[in-house]
Chain A
Amino acid sequence: MGKLSLITKGIIKENPTFVLVLGMCPTLGTTTSAINGMGMGLATTFVLILSNMVISAIAPLIPSKVKIPSYIVVIAALVTVLQFLMQAYVPALYATLGLFIPLIVVNCIVLGRAEAFACKNSVVDSALDGIGIGLGFTCSLTVIGFVRELLGGLSVFGTKLVEGDGMLAFVLAPGAFLVLGYLMVLFNKAKK
């Protein structure tokens, strides 16, 4: 497998949101606007790349029965580091995403990639896999956020297009499920 395909497969063939259907909690919770979705996606990407690299490096040393606890400690430590760094250097972004950063620890994508890919592959391949899956996740979240923001708030990336209120349901939880469902159908139709 070429190095490039490691990245592209995460965006299309194994898109974490629309194909693998992993990490639904942040997908539904954070995509109320395109910019929130994108921020969450990028934060997850950061953790995913680092956790994949660390885990692929230490995997041969970990006895199989304590694999999961060790991976969780690694991921939780990385997320907390990210939280400190964001709080210190990008407080504005932290203010919007702060609530969802700790959720990355329990994001199935991160642990899923650690189990399914990182522990069996080299550090470089794992990093590329992290970039691919992370970008796929970021794109999906941005698109879902974009659609919800457009329909629910009549705005694009925070800029109001038309005055007035859109279909409020799309900003609330039911809208998240609707948009996710329709986009999943469209994505899988287009992929074939």
Chain B
Amino acid sequence: MAKESTFLNMSVTLFAVCLIASAILGGVYAVTKEPIAAAQLAKINGAIGGVVPEFDNAPSDEKFDVEVNGKKSVIYPAKKGGEIVGYAVEASTSNGFGGNITLMVGFNPDGSIVKTSVISHAETPGLGAKITDSESHFVTQFEGKNPADPNFKMIVKKDGGDVDAITASTITSRAFCDAVNNAYLAFCEANKNNVQVEETTPAEEAAEVETTNASEEAQK
């Protein structure tokens, strides 16, 4: 059975237990650090591969951060033979039903959406978690759409937009649109700064107008 407690033996025991526990944790952390980083990189690369047209560079080596309205997004440029064929944008929103939703959104250079993929979410299984089903109508309805297109308002129909929300998951659907929109704003910001894009298509002009509006809002 347990020993009699004295101040000395209590302090010594707690010190020893904590010391051993931290030593073990430090050891395991050191061992698993690289596999964890590799697993996360593999996940990011898998998501990029799924949302942009075919590319031959390593987008995760050329990534850069963009901040719009105080929200940070990561941009992964996809290139083929040195030409930009699309951007994968990792963006998130905190408006989900269960907290943060992080998406990878692929854009063509003209700003239209190629595909989207969910990186992480905490939505209710069977309801909001349907956003992970890449075949569902909710997810596919974004494909090929350009957020700058006046005929496609990227808000759910309930709020007067053009997006069909998931039944019984309006909050999640709203958050999804919000995240795609954040990705789009980041894409515009990146495109504006990117000297490699010289030709400006009408869509991009519209996009730039929207970015200027966004930055004006940020200044206010």
What residue of chain A has the Cβ atom nearest to residue B126's Cβ? A153
Within 8 A of A (CB), among B1-52: 1-6, 9-10, 13-14, 17-18, 21-22, 24-25, 28-29, 32, 35-36, 39-40, 42-43
* Neighbouring A residues of B42 by C-beta, 8 Å: 91
Flag whether A17 is at the interface (Cβ < 8 A).
no
- A92 CA to B14 CA, complexed, in Å: 36
* Neighbouring A residues of B29 by C-beta, 8 Å: 84
Q: Which of A124-132, A136-144, A165-173 contacts B (4 or more CB under 8 A)?
A: A165-173
Q: Mark A73-98, 1 if CB is under 8 A from B, else 0.
A: 11011001100110111010001000
Flag whether A65 is at the interface (Cβ < 8 A).
yes
CB-based contact B2/A149 at 8 Å: no
CB-based contact B13/A63 at 8 Å: yes
CB-based contact A88/B36 at 8 Å: yes
> Least Cβ distance of B167 to chain A in Å?
6
With an 8 Å Cβ cutoff, the count of chain B residues facing the other chain is 33
Known: A153-B125, A168-B168. A63 touches B25 (CB 8 A): no
User: Taking each of B36, B167, B168, which has the highest tally of chain A beta carbons within 10 Å of its own beta carbon?
Assistant: B36
CB-based contact A36/B2 at 8 Å: no
CB-based contact A62/B13 at 8 Å: yes
CB-based contact B3/A62 at 8 Å: yes
CB-based contact A81/B28 at 8 Å: yes
Contact of B5 among A65, A81, A153 (CB under 8 A): A65
CB-based contact A171/B124 at 8 Å: yes
CB-based contact B13/A84 at 8 Å: no
CB-based contact A165/B168 at 8 Å: yes
Flag whether B120 is at the interface (Cβ < 8 A).
yes
CB-based contact B168/A32 at 8 Å: no
Within 8 A of B (CB), among A21-63: 32-33, 36, 58-63
What residue of chain B has the Cβ atom nearest to residue A30's Cβ? B125
CB-based contact A63/B5 at 8 Å: yes
* Neighbouring A residues of B43 by C-beta, 8 Å: 91
* Neighbouring A residues of B21 by C-beta, 8 Å: 73-74, 76-77
> Least Cβ distance of A90 to chain B in Å?
9
Contact of B36 among A65, A70, A87 (CB under 8 A): A87
CB-based contact A88/B35 at 8 Å: yes
Within 8 A of B (CB), among A162-192: 165-166, 168, 171-172
What residue of chain A has the Cβ atom nearest to residue B3's Cβ? A63
- A89 CA to B39 CA, complexed, in Å: 8
Known: A66-B5, A119-B2. A33 touches B126 (CB 8 A): yes
* Neighbouring A residues of B209 by C-beta, 8 Å: none
> Least Cβ distance of A104 to chain B in Å?
15
Q: Lowest 10 CB-CB distances: which A-B pairs, in order?
A: A88-B35, A153-B126, A77-B21, A64-B2, A65-B5, A63-B5, A88-B32, A91-B39, A32-B125, A84-B32
13 residue pairs A–B, Cβ–Cβ below 8 Å: A61-B13, A62-B2, A64-B3, A64-B5, A69-B14, A70-B14, A77-B22, A87-B36, A88-B39, A91-B39, A91-B43, A153-B126, A168-B168
Instruction: Name 6 extra pairs, CB < 8 A, besides A65-B5, A77-B25, A84-B36.
Output: A62-B13, A66-B14, A67-B2, A84-B29, A95-B120, A168-B127
